[in-house]
Chain A
Amino acid sequence: MAGSAFVMYEAEQKEIQAIIERLTHESRAKACFVIDKNGQALASSGQVAGLDITSLASLTAGSISATGGLARVLGEKGDFTATYNEGDRDNLYMTIVGQRIILVVTFNNDTSSLGLVRLRVKKASEELAGVIQRIVTKSDAGDAPLGEITDDDIDNLFS
């Protein structure tokens, strides 16, 4: 198969959370999200109350995926690494980190700017890439993460 499970442990989760909380503060963003390229939300910070993060994650992954498809059609060697969407009220800046995850920042022009966000995202991306690399190494080296689950456990889920 094309890959084993991606396993997030508590230590790395805390590190990621700390990085994006700092990013939210330093870039004066409304919110920041870390999303797996397959559409799973890994972490969020800032003004996220009432936001449908599951939908946001899935649509972000779809959008980045489609943009990557466009890059290939146009003959780019890799993905377009950053995407910017501008709205009346809020703006959205998305970057691919370590080929594996997407860092999303939402901000508005009253409190922040694209320049500031790009600058802060650059530093945060480098830090995140290191953590993600460790997670991938751990995931690949680990045993079957759910090995202790029995067939009965799975059956019981549907009984």
Chain B
Amino acid sequence: MSFINYSSREINCKIVYYGPGLCGKTTNLQYIYKKTSPEAKGKMISLATETERTLFFDFLPLSLGEIRGFKTRFHLYTVPGQVFYDASRKLILKGVDGVVFVADSQVERMEANIESLQNLKDNLSEQGYDFSKIPLVIQYNKRDLPNAAPTEELRNLLNPATVPDFEGVAFKGDGVFETLKAIAKLVLTELKKGK
């Protein structure tokens, strides 16, 4: 749920990066953090295990500029991808305005992608969201790997509703900002429409 403050003239929205374990959700946020100017970003918080796997969430606050005198602020979160952290994923989805589903392009991760997407649908519906209506963007990450499945195949499997989708190589930054822009735009457009 976005938060609009007329007193401070701010629009705040929450975007969650979702996807299977090790698909590159945290890497997306790290790249955004690295490439954003200091005045446009806050501190990035990672609640991770000792082996740097996300334990609860990563968090990055970002300012994207002004619309008609309102500062737009986006709070980017990632969820822990590993299957057994489902309780945490549900908590992080609370109040979400838009979702980026990061898919792992590797052929052997196809099942994990499908399972994670189904898990997203289930968890959104549990919170009262309609999956077909929530702003959603898909990123097919790890396109540089030799065992990456053809994009068309991924699209057929994961994006039957043809939401905006992008190829990505998150650690190099390919597709990262395109994905972010697309989801931010969808969220603002949804907000403009109102209820």
Q: Is B truly associated with A?
A: yes
Chain B residues, CB < 8 A from A84:
none
State how many angstroms separate the Cβ of B119 from the closest Cβ of chain A: 16
- Interface presence of B189 (CB below 8 A): yes
**B14 nearest CB neighbor, chain A only:** A38
Question: Which of B6, B128, B133 is A7 in contact with, Cβ under 8 Å?
Answer: B6
Whether B3 pairs with A52 at a CB distance below 8 angstroms is no
Chain A residues, CB < 8 A from B118:
none
State how many angstroms separate the Cβ of B98 from the closest Cβ of chain A: 11
Tell me the count of chain B residues lying within 8 A, CB to CB, of chain A: 50
In the docked arrangement, what's the CA distance between A10 and B10, Å?
12
Chain A residues, CB < 8 A from B5:
7-8, 13, 42
- Interface presence of A91 (CB below 8 A): no
Whether B194 pairs with A38 at a CB distance below 8 angstroms is no
Whether B191 pairs with A13 at a CB distance below 8 angstroms is no
Question: Which of A3, A55, A145 is B43 in contact with, Cβ under 8 Å?
Answer: A55
- With A2-B129, A39-B75 given, is the CB distance from A146 to B6 under 8 Å? no
**B7 nearest CB neighbor, chain A only:** A13
Whether B2 pairs with A6 at a CB distance below 8 angstroms is yes
Which residues of B approach A to under 8 Å, CB–CB?
1-8, 11-12, 14, 42-43, 45, 47, 56-57, 59, 61, 64-68, 70, 72, 75, 87-88, 90-92, 94-95, 127-130, 133-134, 181, 184-185, 188-189, 191-195
Could you list some 15 contacts between A and B, CB below 8 A? Answer: A2-B1, A6-B1, A8-B3, A10-B7, A13-B8, A38-B1, A40-B75, A54-B43, A58-B59, A59-B59, A69-B91, A143-B194, A157-B64, A157-B65, A157-B185
Which residues of A approach B to under 8 Å, CB–CB?
1-10, 13-14, 36-40, 42, 52, 54-55, 58-59, 62, 65-66, 68-69, 73, 143-149, 151, 153-158
